[in-house]
Structure 1
Amino acid sequence: MIKLLNKNPFLSISIKNSSQIIIRVLIGLLSIKIVAVILGPVGLAIVNQMQNFLQLTANLANGGIYNGIIKLLSDKATLNSKKEILNTGYVIIIVASLTISLSGIFFNQAISIFLFGNDSYRFVILCLFIYVIPTALFNFVLSITNGLQNLRLYLFITISYLISGLIIFVTSLYIWGLFGALWALLLQGLIAYILFRKGIKKLQIQLQFVLNKDIFKILSNYSLMAIVSNAITPLVVILIRRIIISNLSLHDAGIWDGVYKISSSYVNLSMLSFSYYFLPAFSKTISTKEIRKEIRDSLKVLIPLLSIASLSIYLFRDVIIRLILSNSFEASSQIIKWQLIGDIFAVTSWLFRILLIAKEKTKAYIFSEILAGTLLLAVSYYAIKGFGIEGCTIAYCIVNLINLFVLFIVHKYYWKEH
């Protein structure tokens, strides 16, 4: 076993990083369970709609530079410029997050109507825009610890945030119900800021509001890729949920959310390992031979694990749905198979997307993201009309297979064997 770990760095790093990943997944599942039991499918759909919106705003507020920070800090040739890298990143995040936050003053009513079909949540949305600033800073310090491969600090900050966030969320939900769950997100922003300050202190970093033009130009390439990717994913999920609500019902949207949350739990388990290991690893590889070997070795581990996980979840789907959600989500059992197959394609394709990020293939990356998002939205729209709620998972499976094929062709084009 030790010999296998030494031969496969991806597996080794993933196991070392497994503590925070397992805690993240368990906390996510526990949160879903509590919301499902207390609020049911309708409440789950509303909470997830708000969470996806906050994910969208938080992703835009970071300026899309986290992957660029990780890449630059992982590159030994740029470590002499560490101070300039961090200061430039700090400027970008402060400016971007303030811009996003201020937009909440003018558009909170329109956003509430867009998300929920009414303006009942406009004041909550207005206040939650404050959340994006500390969250952007928190993720900034995570990207620094990732790039510097400071796993111990990375785990401490992440686990502290996850556990404190769960306590706040559960307490607020239990006492104040649906609105308590929404307001809890604002309190999580305070925890995020405290941990940001602690992380910077531990790393002995003095951040200054100074912009380096050369580094800004480099980070801009990553910014464009990340903004497109990070905006498309939550936006498409929000729009699909709106299509379900418009054509079927809010209850059906909650049933789909239940399936989506179950599958995303183990998908995130894989992708979190990717984000910590593969971006620095691919950034260091130079030759086509090294790149292709890294991919082959990783796929040998990845695909069997994904297949076993998907099959296990499908075979025990009824038990899992009752365990993770509640009896009111029984209809999820009938539509989950397509989601699980699609997850295998989705996680495998992410491996190729990480490579495009690491090697700054901006145009190819943006094209693949826009293609995947547009296809998923379009196919979901017609599939929902033709197959009902199951159309969502069918569309997800089809589009992820197409996206994997496209990314494989792109990979072959850029890294041909000689």
Structure 2
Amino acid sequence: MKTRGLAILLALVLVVGLVPVLAVACAEEETTTTAAPSTATSAAGEVKELVIGGDAFLTGPAAAGGMACKRGWELATAKINDAGGLKIGNDTYKIKLVVEDDAMSVDQAATAVQKMIQQDGAKFIMGPLVDAFKNVIYPICAEAGVMLANVDTCNASAKIKYEGNTDISPEKPLFARFHWANDEMIPHLLDYLNEKYPQAKKIAVCGVTEACTVALFDWLGQYLPSRGLERVGQLEQMAPDTADYNPPVQRLLSAKPDAILVAVSTPTTWGFVTKAAREQGFKGPVMCATHLDVEFANTIAGGGNTDMFGAGVCLSDLEALPQEMKDAHAEYQAKGYPAQDEIADVYLVGYNGLWVLLQAIEKAQSVDPKVVYEAYQKMTQPGSFKTLWGEGAYVGGLESTGVNAVLNEPYWINAIGPDGVAKNVKQIFVKVP
């Protein structure tokens, strides 16, 4: 797995919806589609086409991450189409997936979404992967009566108050969330910290340069004491193109922490922070709230590290994961996709998000975005949805966000303990009341 991790590291400097807008060259990418739909009519109903759009960065320095997510969307689409499509009343809908490149440009993202809605006829839009772009994309979707599905990442939920929060709200109809937010994951990481490192009480906090990172830092100042913990030192923010992590990590360590929390990470931030901390003699745990493969982070950190844990799954410990996850891995290999695009969590989160959206559409028995959005809010029974991560998923979030449109789902913590082996150590359930 180390060889695979190094290959991936050389292939990408990726951002999973977390980084500020980067100036990158714009290259044109042909959209991807699934098998051509049929328009046949029979006594049992018609075979129709449902267009679902996805906005991702497919070119530029983060292209590997965007391509991985795109692969996940393709696999979820194939899963449904190969099984015959969505059954809506007497009709059958085959999914046509259209994915456009935003090249991490907010203007290009807006253009891409307008194109998918106006020219391709998309009724549902997934993404964008850059979290901050959602505030630009949502009005475009809402005006057209299109549902925006956050299937990948949410750095800070609606309860974390700051200007520009990108989460769902009562003021944003036709906007639903199919993934947890970092502040909803952090309590589970602290549970694991207390279980495995009960002497660790002082927490230093860092993350990427984002407004949400500042907001999370402020929230942690109040939340950590309620858990018998203490936030120490000042917030250290690192831009994605940071060349030297030693100065900010040195400042973190000057507060004498017992543990370090990377509150918002690119896939490289966690590893580089760990590397700098270990080189400066820090031996405590380094945890991360962004979904990542701990083995990949360890590779970035130079390998041979221990005491790292965070939200995510590591593919090297596939046997510990549910059968659905193993099936997704087999489906990926069967498609012959490039190995460097199989980035654990990235393509799996994309796969899972679209799969749940498609289940919601079929359960709503409608392809009308408004009908699906309203029906999704009522799917509150545990086990309403199947997920890659495990059983029991349902919709909640009314108390936390003001609207009942957040997927409550199982997830995983992966870790490298004292034995130096990457493992999927704990299945959790992220409940958003």
Higher relative contact order (CA 8 A, sep 6+): 1
Choose between structure 1 and 2: higher strand proportion.
2
TM-score strictly above 0.5 = no
Q: TM (normalized to structure 1)?
A: 0.26
